[in-house]
Amino acid sequence: MANLTDFCVQLPKIEVHAHINGSLSPQTMRALVARKVDMNPELAAFEIPDSLDRIDDFFSLFKFIYQLTDDEVSVAFATQQIMEEFAADGVRYLELRTTPRANSAKGMTKASYIDTVLTTIATKCPAGMLTKLIISIDRRNTLEEAQYTVDLALKARECGFPIVGVDLCGDVMKGSFEALRPAFERARQQGQFPLTLHFNEVKENMHEAPELLSIYPERLGHATLLDDPSRAIIYERAVPVEICMTSNVFSKTVPSYEDHHVKELLEEGHPFILCTDDKGVFGSDLSNEYVLAANTFGLNREQLFEASFKSIDAIFANNETKDQLRAIWGAWKNQHQDLFTE
């Protein structure tokens, strides 16, 4: 009989909300610091804090993290490490996401950044796991920058790379979706890209909800705070929600695990996918998110399997891929009946 943690590691899982630069493990960060500390001694002093007072403090951490992935070799190394860590944690289907970033001092352009990530995915993805990429548009982008991100997505897909969607992310207090809407509309119309939008993380964002929902996003990230009209639309359309419990508790956008809004989704039978968001910053693997959900809401192993299995419905993939994954989940369950007795 396996303990709950072992069960959750072994359980085949879907991860669809993982920002590359938020997913650097402490080991990966240390390796990148070692590579760069001679040129930049200040890096040696940095540590990820144990908790944050406010979500604003989270976004400022990236001023440090981005110094670690400021060249193509580091980006490739980070991407490979992240894939290996997710695979070791039992993830069988991974949608990474990242914002194209340039650094002229090291000859990295936004195009070469994305090319590096995609080439690493194509050549270094561990056996037994599929990896795809969602391209992120940062709220602070100008419309021109956002359109360029869409250009990159369209071009990469033309070259046969697995870009599967477009995300809206970034500092919740900055920018506006409306200013960037034409880029999302073009991604949808020209590329048929499904959209996932970080949604209502904090109360200051809630006024944007009608605009975000009016583009018919295929998934929503967090959806922490719902007013009645948003809730009605999300339930009626059954929009799957990417749930990142530790991220929300760590950033203090929800008061505690017990008060997490996934409780309401569980009660309603609304589709959700347990995810990590930024496993490097928040120090929680996907298997740990399943443990937390089980311990907080009393889910048994059958229910954990069901949550993981149902997540397949919400991935940005065609029906053939979904059916293949369902078959893998089914076979795993048949072979591991012994793990279901607690």
Least distance from C-beta 198 to Zn ion, angstroms? 6
| The pair of three-digit structure tokens given for residue 129, joined into one six-digit string | 């796991």
**Residues 6 or more apart in contact with residue 10 via CB below 8 angstroms:** 2, 90, 336, 339
Q: What binding mask, one character per residue, do residues 252-271 give for Zn ion by CB under 5 A, x or -?
A: --------------------
Q: Residue 22 touches which of Zn ion, ligand IMP, none (CB < 5 to 8 A by kind)?
A: ligand IMP
Report the residue number, 275 or 291, with the smaller CB distance to Zn ion. 275
Q: Does 89 bind Zn ion (CB under 5 A)?
A: no
How does 238-261 read in b/e, with b if 16+ C-beta sit within 10 Å?
ebbbbbbbbbbbbbbbbeebeebb
Report the residue number, 138 or 208, with the smaller CB distance to ligand IMP. 138
Report the residue number, 199 or 332, with the smaller CB distance to ligand IMP. 199
Q: Confirm if 181 and 187 have CB atoms less than 8 A apart.
A: no
Which residues lie across from 220 on neighbouring strands? 197, 241
Q: How far apart are the first and last CA of the chain?
A: 7
Of 238, 111, 217, the closest CA to residue 166 belongs to 217
Least distance from C-beta 222 to Zn ion, angstroms? 7
Q: Residue 71 touches which of ligand IMP, Zn ion, none (CB < 5 to 8 A by kind)?
A: none
Q: Does 289 bind Zn ion (CB under 5 A)?
A: no
Report the residue number, 281 or 292, with the smaller CB distance to Zn ion. 281
Which residues lie across from 138 on neighbouring strands? 169
Least distance from C-beta 167 to Zn ion, angstroms? 8
Q: Residue 62 touches which of ligand IMP, Zn ion, none (CB < 5 to 8 A by kind)?
A: ligand IMP
- Residue 258 a catalytic site member: no
Of 32, 93, 87, 91, the closest CA to residue 64 belongs to 32
**How many chain residues touch Zn ion (CB under 5 A)?**
1
Least distance from C-beta 35 to ligand IMP, angstroms? 18
Q: What binding mask, one character per residue, do residues 142-181 give for Zn ion by CB under 5 A, x or -?
A: ----------------------------------------
Residues, the chain, total?
342
Phi-psi group of 243: left, alpha or beta (phi > 0 → left; psi -120 to 50 → alpha; rest → beta): beta
CA distance linking residue 145 with residue 276, whole number of Å: 27
Residues that bind ligand IMP (CB under 6 A): 19-22, 62, 98-99, 136, 138, 169-170, 198, 201, 247, 277-278
Least distance from C-beta 20 to ligand IMP, angstroms? 4
Strands 163-169, 91-98: pairing is unpaired
Least distance from C-beta 126 to ligand IMP, angstroms? 20
Q: Which of 95, 201, 208, 289 is catalytic?
A: 201
CA distances from 158 to 73, 147, 192 (A): 24, 17, 13
Report the residue number, 72 or 277, with the smaller CB distance to Zn ion. 277
Report the residue number, 125 or 172, with the smaller CB distance to ligand IMP. 172
Q: Does 277 bind Zn ion (CB under 5 A)?
A: yes
Q: Confirm if 135 and 148 have CB atoms less than 8 A apart.
A: no
Catalytically active residues, by annotation: 201
Q: Where on the chain is the footprint of Zn ion (CB under 5 A)?
A: 277
